[in-house]
Homo-oligomer: A and B are copies of this chain.
Amino acid sequence: MPSRKIFVDACFGKETPYTPVWMMRQAGRYLPEYMKVRAKAGDFLNLCHDPKAAAAVTIQPLDIVGVDAAILFTDILVIPDEMGMDLSFVKGEGPKFSDPLTSQADLDRLIGGDEAASKLTYVFDTIKILRKELDERGDNIALIGFAGAPWTLATYMIEGQGTKTYNICKKMMYSNPELLHNILREVTEVLKLYLEKQIQAGVDVVQIFDSWAAAIEVDNYDEFSWSYMVEIAEYIKAKYPHIPIIMFPKGIPAFYDKVYGNFDVFGIDWATPMEYAKEKLGDKYVLQGNMEPCRLYSKEQTTVSVEKIQKVMNGKRHIFNLGHGILPDIPVENAKHFVSECQRVSKK
């Protein structure tokens, strides 16, 4: 059974010979091989813009750590960048937009819909290279495409950078919700076409990351984030029902009772106990996750956690992952240990 089929089957909740495993940020700074490609590319955005280099780092964790799926290397913020906002990465400070959105006029100046989505050729070219390479490999591993959720992207577009308090977007949410909705709607339209084009270029699965879900009150989460994510999922499902969709809204366990929508896999963050997630969502969705990534500092603690998660999920309707991205200072051999432990405990 080719591993690509195993991963897609697992996303659809079908029985598989083992529980597949991948890691958020698996193509990243903990790998010396990644750092080499990155150094050559110059800055982080250059790496995203270079299909050959982006494809190369996407492949690295397959060979080095042995994960069961590749995830496209790119950044969620290429979307607002191509919509006409000026993205840069300032060393040690993270992403910056020089001209954050403060008004309808600011939003009106952006490029929307197909015009914006079509500008992301470097992403689709990366996928085409990867599809070809993965097809040529004996194991034919699944390729995951992804995008940031409209809300998560909007936080950067409004704040101009990462934020601890989200106070500028919250101010908009509570005093000018129409403008926030207009921004979210505009981004949603681009994301539908962006993910569609990723699928046409060759990804097998798509994941939507709502990294800043927890910044919204539970009572407001559907209105300002989830409904837009579901709208994107419905659009994709209507046209590409064979493509599994993974939703990852980070840190909103209190919303689990209200989760709805046509998608396949729900990603669980590390702070939400897997038992709780299984009880609330396990019948409706396949669950992905959720080892606390800092456990990777200790092989022993990694094994404890993998065994615990396996005991809860019992190899059914489950994909192993971390509950958040792997950190840059994790030893590669510990990442390998995590992957092989997931494969060991779940083998049937």
A residues at B contact (CB < 8 Å): 165-167, 170-171, 173-175, 214, 217-219, 253-254, 270-273, 276, 292, 294-295, 297-298, 301, 327, 329
Contact = CB atoms under 8 A, between A and B. Distances in A.
A194 to B, nearest CB: 27
A166 B165 CA distance: 18
A170 B297 CA distance: 8
A271 B218 contact: yes
Given A271-B214, A273-B218, A327-B165, A175 B297 contact: yes
Given A254-B273, A273-B254, A294 B167 contact: yes
A329 B166 CA distance: 12
B329 A167 contact: yes
Nearest to A302: B174
Contacts of A298: 174-175
Given A174-B301, A218-B273, 12 more contacts: A167-B294, A167-B327, A170-B292, A174-B298, A175-B298, A217-B270, A217-B271, A218-B271, A219-B273, A254-B272, A254-B273, A254-B276
Contacts of A297: 167, 170-171, 174-175
A31 to B, nearest CB: 17
A271 B292 contact: no
A299 B139 CA distance: 59
Contact of A294 (B174, B218, B273, B294): B174
A255 to B, nearest CB: 10
A165 B25 CA distance: 14
Nearest to A94: B164
A297 B169 CA distance: 11
21 contacts: A165-B294, A165-B327, A167-B297, A167-B327, A167-B329, A170-B292, A170-B297, A171-B297, A173-B294, A174-B298, A175-B297, A175-B298, A214-B271, A217-B271, A217-B292, A218-B273, A219-B273, A253-B253, A253-B254, A254-B272, A254-B276
B294 A166 contact: yes
Q: Which 5 A-B pairs have the closest CB atoms?
A: A170-B294, A174-B298, A171-B297, A174-B301, A175-B298
Contacts of A254: 253, 271-273, 276
Contacts of A276: 254
Contacts of A217: 270-271, 292
Contacts of A165: 294, 327
Nearest to A175: B298
A343 to B, nearest CB: 22
Contacts of A327: 165, 167
Contacts of A329: 167
A178 to B, nearest CB: 13
A69 B175 CA distance: 29
A99 B186 CA distance: 48
A119 B244 CA distance: 61
A293 to B, nearest CB: 9
Among A166, A272, A298, residue most surrounded by chain B Cβ atoms (within 10 Å) = A298
Contacts of A301: 174-175
A282 to B, nearest CB: 16
